[in-house]
Amino acid sequence: MNKLAVIALGGNALLRGDQLGTIEEQEENATETFENLVYLFKEGYNVIFAHGNGPQVGNILMRNDAGEQLYNLPQMPLDICVADSQGGIGFMLERCLLNVLRKHNIKRNIITLVTQVMVDKNDPAFQNPTKRIGKIYSKEEADKLTIDKGWIFKEASKKETGWRRVVSSPQPLDFFNAETVEQMAREGNIVITVGGGGVPVYIDEENNIRPIDAVIDKDLAAAMVAKRVKAEEYYILTDVPFVYLNYNQKDEKVLEFLNYKDTQEYLNQGAFGEGSMAPKIKACLDFIKNGGQKAVITEAKKLQFKEYGTKITMEYDRHDVKH
């Protein structure tokens, strides 16, 4: 049976930090990323893609703000903005990947889903919203929005001046249509799902599915998908070829092969950046602990050169690692 891999697309795979976010940039990045993944399809892998939406949903939120100011259009809530981004990015990825596959004469269907992800309303993350989203406001604007819409604000990051809305980032517990996604992927269809981490929803007291103002980490959502569909492998495509110890310092050290226990210890020691590498490592460990064979963190363009990439497996033995 062919292996099933879940691949989380983030960072350069979609949009580089120095880019404006035009559609041409996004299509070029996506096409380059997929060109580097062609070997996986040639090797017969079944694949499910998850993807980020940070810059895109940021722009959608800004456009909502601008539309209200200029044209008095009603603003859409965060859940609709995330769902919008699943549509736009999903279509763009599907089309670019189809064209790469056509070029290489690989016949696969690509199925792009709008996806809800279940969270727990009592997740402790809701006590401490930390994820900055949307535009930078002045103190006065922020205070007004707190009164008008109940939004919570924190000061913007060091590089910026002003206030930004913050929302919580709860744990993804499950995603809708998991069985269908697994079946479609195991039959050879490429599935794109949980875009932007998925649209977060919960079950309220009246047994209704309700959206909640939050964003889900896309690497955690992708790892949850990988567990749920019992994928053999999990890839996080990001902006660095490897995971490092003491990243960007004199004694920086490449980590190529990692086992579960050592990785957990590094993580406990705080060896990985809290806002960057640590959540990716947690996502990989979660996947391995739940039966995944191999998790890989690397750059999309390095993936096909197999000497690149940090490979995390349960037992540390580089000779056992199939790569």
Can you give the binding site for its own copies, defined by CB under 8 A?
Answer: 20-23, 59-60, 62-67, 69-71, 73-74, 76-77, 79-81, 83-88, 90-92, 94-95, 98-99, 102-103, 109-114, 116, 135, 176-177, 180, 184, 189, 192, 195, 199, 201, 207-209, 211
Residue 134 designated active-site: no
For residues 62 and 254, which CB has a smaller minimum distance to its own copies in the complex?
62
Query: How would you classify residue 211: left for phi > 0, otherwise alpha for psi between -120 and 50, otherwise beta?
Result: beta
- Choose the catalytic residue: 29, 46, 52, 131: 131
Query: Toward its own copies, which CB reaches closer, 201 or 296?
Result: 201
| Catalytic residue list contains 218 | yes
Choose, from 11, 52, 90, 198, the residue flagged as catalytic.
11
Shortest separation between residue 208's beta carbon and its own copies, angstroms: 5
Residues with Cβ < 8 Å from 240, sequence gap 6 or more? 297, 298, 299
**C-alpha–C-alpha distance, residues 251 and 235, integer Å:** 27
Is 12 one of the catalytic residues? yes
Report in angstroms the alpha-carbon separations of 317 from 89, 160, 235, 258, 314. 38, 45, 19, 8, 9
Residue 21 annotated among the catalytic residues of the structure: no
Which C-beta is closer to its own copies: that of 138 or that of 180?
180
Instruction: Spot the catalytic one: 64, 195, 196, 280.
Output: 280
Question: Which of residues 98 and 321 has its CB atom nearest to its own copies in the complex?
Answer: 98
Q: Active site residue: 135, 218, 282, 311, which one?
A: 218
Please name which of 241, 243, 247 lies closest in space to residue 307, comparing C-alpha atoms: 241
Closest contact distance (angstroms) between CB of 195 and its own copies is 8
Least distance between its own copies and beta carbon 75 (Å): 9
Residue 37 or 184 with smaller CB distance to its own copies: 184
HEC string for 142-209: HHHHHHHHCCEEEECCCCCCCEEEEEECCCCCEECCHHHHHHHHHCCCEEECCHHHCEEEEECCCCCE
268 is catalytic: no
Q: Which two tokens stand for residue 30?
A: 């996506």
- Name the minimum Å distance from CB 303 to its own copies: 24
| Closer to its own copies by Cβ: residue 59 or 304 | 59
Least distance from C-beta 20 to its own copies, angstroms?
5
Phi, psi for residue 320 in degrees, rounded to 5:
-80, -20
Q: How far is the CB of 278 from its own copies (least distance, A)?
A: 30
- d(C-alpha 279, C-alpha 270), whole Å: 12
- Catalytic pick from 12, 29, 36, 46? 12
Q: Give the H or E element holding residue 37.
A: none
Give CA separation, 297 vs 217, 238, 287, 293, in Å.
16, 7, 13, 14
CA distance 122 to 124: 6
In whole angstroms, what is the distance from residue 38 CA to residue 43 CA?
Answer: 9
Catalytic annotation, residues? 11-12, 131, 218, 280
